[in-house]
Amino acid sequence: MKSIESVSHLLSSVATGLARLKGMNETAPLVGDTITIQFDEWDWEVGVGLYGLMRHAEASDNKALIGSIAAWYDWQIGRGLPPRQVNSSSPMLPLAFLIDHVERPDWDALVQDWADWLMTGLARTEDGGFQHVVKERANDGELWDDTLFMTCLFLAKAGKRFGRKDWIDEAIHQFLVHARYLADPVTGLWYHGWNFNGRHNFAKAFWARGNSWVTVAIPELFGLVGEDIPPFVARYLTSVLAAQVTALAKLQKADGMFCTLLNDPDSPQESSATAGFSYGICRAVELGLLPQHFRRVADRAYEAVVKRISEDGIVLEVSDGTPMGHDLDFYRKIPNVPAPYGQALVMLMLVQTLSELEGETAPQMCAAG
């Protein structure tokens, strides 16, 4: 049974678990009595983790936690940032939220400069898509579903923050380009990637976490810049999301989990994707993008995920970072690790649940007369 107390306790535990992560699959003792973020790399894993932590801090008005997040950025930016690419853009999303709470003109300037780089410096594919350039390789001509969360939400948030409609329009355009090549019209699910060099979807993998990035990113885009999305585009993205979630409802396991290959019930179950689906569906229902009956899918996923939070706050059954696979067996063999993005997707799920519970218990205004 969900309660404000139980969900708050889980949220605090998972946030503390994130603070214990020093690297991928590397935990360390907590530093002091407050949350000190120890993750020693600026890349997508911690970027997603910090976004979950930032949303938690804002929802709870936790100024100490906001201070801890600011301290991590001060440390990382102060020692020099890595080259810009898709995955290193991920920490910019929580930073774009953080600057609403701290007076740092230098960070304001960094957010604007990085957003401008996405517009002018990031390699493009055919049709102007954001090429999924990462630190290991350029991935020439490739679109990945991860890109929408790692770059486009930041671009939309920065555009809103600094009054740059061109940034917002580009973020929306990227959703359309990626949907064209990655959303499967037969199943409604999304492929992990598309390659213009050969014009194919690689292994044709319906990878769970990749799909969950989409389930999360579409409602987040509406939450960030909904009034800036043209009505016909809003209708299209809503229908794309509904098609995906309709397919997900048929593929959910009896215990509420989803498998790492969504249409392969024998592939490993995966917690971060399951949490992402739960959060994204709840957020979409809240925003009126999906009908209420999909809440059952989200609620079953929630119950499955909370059973996979260890006593020390680490989310279990989270698969390691997953590059593009060229055969389906590649996805089946990805090991599980403690990971910031697993913590973050669970935190988003818990923050949403807590917000709903608190809304149910808030005093209701009575009509006069």
Three-class SS of 304-338: HHHCCECCCCCECCCECCCCCCCCHHHHHCCCECC
Cα(26)–Cα(3) distance, integer angstroms? 32
Residue 20 lies in a domain: yes
Residue 244 in any domain: the answer is yes
Supply the pTM of this predicted model: 0.95
Question: Which one, of 291, 274, 292, 288, lies nearest residue 349 by Cα?
Answer: 274
The domain of 16 spans: 4-358
Domain presence at residue 313: yes
In total, how many domains does the chain have? 1
- Residues 295 and 103: their CA atoms lie apart, in Å, by 39
- The pLDDT, as a whole number, for residue 39 is 85
Single out the residue of 131, 136, 165, 176 nearest to residue 150, CA to CA.
131
Q: How far is CA 14 from CA 9, 131, 298, 342, 350, in A?
A: 9, 33, 19, 10, 9
Question: Is residue 225 domain-resident?
Answer: yes
The CATH number covering residue 137 comes to: 1.50.10.10
Note whether residue 16 is domain-resident: yes
The answer to whether residue 366 is domain-embedded is no
Q: Could you identify the residue written with the tokens 């996805």?
A: 331
In contact, 275 and 341? CB cutoff 8 Å = no
Residue 187 inside a domain? The answer is: yes
Per-residue pLDDT 10s for the chain (369 aa) are 789 999 999 999 999 998 888 766 566 666 656 678 888 889 998 999 899 899 999 988 999 999 999 999 999 999 999 999 999 999 999 999 999 999 999 999 999 999 999 999 999 999 999 999 999 999 999 999 999 999 999 999 999 999 999 999 999 999 999 999 999 999 999 999 999 999 999 999 999 999 999 999 999 999 999 999 999 999 999 999 999 999 999 999 999 999 999 999 999 999 999 999 999 999 999 999 999 999 999 999 999 999 999 999 999 999 999 999 999 999 999 999 999 999 999 999 999 999 999 987 654 433 333
Given a contact cutoff of 8 angstroms between Cβ atoms, the answer to whether 107 and 122 are in contact is: no
Q: Is residue 367 part of a domain?
A: no
* pLDDT on residue 364: 43
